[in-house]
Amino acid sequence: MGKGSLVCVGTGLQLAGHVTVIGKSYIESAEEVFSLMPDAFGQRWLEGLNTNITDLQQFYAKAGEVKNRRLTYEQMTEAIMTAVRAGKRVVGVFYGHPGVFACVPHMAIARAQKEGFQASMEPGISAEDCLWADLGIDPGNYGCQSLEASQLMFFEHQLDNAGYVLLWQIALAGEHTLTGFSTTEERLRVLVDLLRQWYPEQHKVCLYEASNLPIGACRAEWVYLKDLPEATLHAITTLVIPPVRELQYNLRVLNQLGLTPEDLG
């Protein structure tokens, strides 16, 4: 029996169109594949590349069941590791980028490496990549902060309102139990109140959802910040907050460099 290995790859957002050449090659040549896809279409596409697939969706809570997602993620990780320990060439296939808002690939790779197995990750196209393309934004022009919405609420963060701010998993804002899959208007009002430190209520924000089909359009719905609690949110919705003020020159540093604002290109 050969020594097991693990590679985690991402399929991107659009079925079959976003997967990389090397990612597809890993899937096709794997002895065992573990997948976490958003729908049956993606799962069937994977089955066309490799028939030896285990669907990790089975570990999520069943209808009527209350289950902490930490337990779910641990079960997924151990399912992958069981195959690696059995000496298989294992590939984990995850929607989007396997390392972005996806803890199972990180957990499995870290565990495999700790146990002496070869384990690595191949990047994929993430929702953030699609966001910049769909909205026509270059984050290099202003800077960008990217945070999970609940993390912003639970911990002390300082937002830079001269740059873009992306709040992920806005539909779970304030959800602390790891058993629920939605937020409430009350929690969203708390978030809006928090954001008022940096933004006026009339500031326009974008509810963004990347398309998962090449012929489909993304969702880019602009609403006032104050209206966020009444907005329609889905699991894939990201809140995009544009800058509310101009970038300010750091005159102290410019002076240390012997420069003035007029010297900048």
Euclidean distance between CA atoms 152 and 173, whole angstroms: 9
The DSSP bridge pattern shows strands 219-224 and 204-209 to be antiparallel
Catalytic residue among 26, 95, 164, 208, which? Answer: 95
73 is catalytic: yes
Catalytic choice (26, 73, 164, 199): 73
26 a catalytic residue: no
Q: Which two tokens stand for residue 216?
A: 């489909």
Q: Which of 69, 85, 189, 219 is catalytic?
A: 69
Tell me how far CA of residue 99 lies from CA of 157, 190, 219, in angstroms: 22, 29, 24
Cβ burial, residue 218 (10 Å; 0-12/13-18/19+): middle
Which amino acid is it at 72? T
For helices 69-85 and 103-114, the axis angle rounded to 10 degrees is: 40
Decide if 95 is catalytic. yes
CA 120/CA 146 separation, integer angstroms = 24
As annotated, the active-site residues are 69, 73, 95
